[in-house]
Amino acid sequence: MGSQFGETGVDVAGPGARPALHGSKARASARLSSCRRERGPAVVVVILLGPPGVGKGTQGAWLAERAGARYVATGDLLRAACREGTELGRRAQGYMDRGELVPDGLIIELVRQVLSGLSPDTGVVFDGFPRTVPQADMLASVLGDVDRQVDRVIVLEADDEVLLRRMAGRRSCRDCGAVYNIHFNAPRKAGACDRCGGELARRRDDDPATVRRRLKVYRKDTMPLIQFYLGTSARLEQVAADRPVDKVRDALQEVTGT
Ligand code: AP5
């Protein structure tokens, strides 16, 4: 897979980048919007693909911030639904706790709702969606209805050993959802969120047995999407994610040519 991201103008930051200042964010948005396609409006749709714990959330939120794009993480949306006790949350919880995929029908409805609320000139960074070929087909169909398509697929990669250690060390804030890692990115005060002071907890699906199941599910149901997108006009990039966060950002910067 070659490096072809740069010419779309999605803006990514170098090592140690802080949340974008107004000026740079505005420039990033302008560049995102200035990507002209032969068909339809100038909007970039990016998918972050990769196994559990590889850093999709860590990098995806940052990438969307830099690009002035909407960040859509189905895992986050599902966990919020579980916390709020909605019908979707009640139906999804058992699958998530077992490390299985939530049925396509529920996910497709959820994503349809999110996309229907977006204006046509909004870029999107998807994290954890699509995860199956039927989900990818649905995304293509919904985007096609508004003359859009998936532009980029970035595959983050790391060995299982790295993934297991990251997920064993992950802690999330029960209140604001901020993510830490006791090995790599510890909070200032053990057990408390730096941002809001909320209690930090281990994710229910981060126990070793469930993590192993999630890895198997990724290989069986989600990896085929690489082949799927090779058969589309989307551009694919592979990024080694078994490095510190800033180094992964360096690599993203390199492959995107920004
Ligand atoms: P989801 O929340 O999407 O989980 P996942 O894909 O398994 O990914 P994770 O959130 O575990 O990891 P990540 O890659 O985002 O890594 P992170 O940045 O947090 O989905 C959960 C469940 O919801 C699924 O199992 C399924 O049941 C359901 N679901 C969701 N979407 C679905 C869909 N489309 N269809 C069906 N079901 C769906 O990083 C991990 C840890 O490592 C953190 O502690 C972080 O601080 C640390 N870290 C990150 N990068 C680095 C680095 N470079 N160096 C050191 N530490 C790092």
Give the domain 44-160+208-253 fold: Rossmann fold (3.40.50)
Whether residue 204 contacts residue 214, with contact meaning beta carbons closer than 8 Å, is answered with: no
Structural tokens at position 128? 């954890």
pTM of the model: 0.86
Catalytic residue among 79, 152, 170, 249: 170
List ligand 1's pocket residues with C-beta within 6 A. Answer: 50, 52-58, 74-75, 78, 95-96, 99-102, 107, 128-129, 131, 135, 166, 169-170, 179, 181, 184-185, 205, 214, 241, 243-245, 248
Between CA 258 and CA 73, with CA 228 as vertex, the angle to 5 degrees is 60
Name the residue with the closest Cα to ligand 1, atom 54: 244
Please give the full DSSP string across 78-96, using - where no structure is assigned. Answer: HHHHHHHT-HHHHHHHHHH
Please give the full DSSP string across 98-166, using - where no structure is assigned. Answer: HTPPPPHHHHHHHHHHHHHTS-TT--EEEES---SHHHHHHHHHHHHHTT----EEEEEE--HHHHHHH
The pLDDT profile of the chain, 258 residues, written as one tens digit per residue, is 332 234 433 332 333 222 222 233 333 333 333 333 343 334 589 999 999 999 999 999 988 888 889 999 999 999 999 999 999 999 999 999 999 999 999 999 999 999 988 888 899 999 999 999 999 999 999 999 888 899 999 999 999 999 999 999 999 998 888 999 999 999 999 999 999 999 999 999 999 999 999 999 999 999 999 999 999 999 999 999 999 999 999 887 777 655
| Residue 56 annotated to the active site | yes
Name the residue with the closest Cα to ligand 1, atom 6: 52
Backbone angles phi, psi at 25, to 5 degrees: -65, -40
Q: Ligand 1 center to residue 36 CA distance, Å?
A: 32
Q: Ligand 1 center to residue 29 CA distance, Å?
A: 26
Reduced to 3 states, what is the DSSP secondary structure of residue 24?
helix
Catalytic residue among 56, 66, 79, 166: 56
Domain positions in the chain are 44-160+208-253
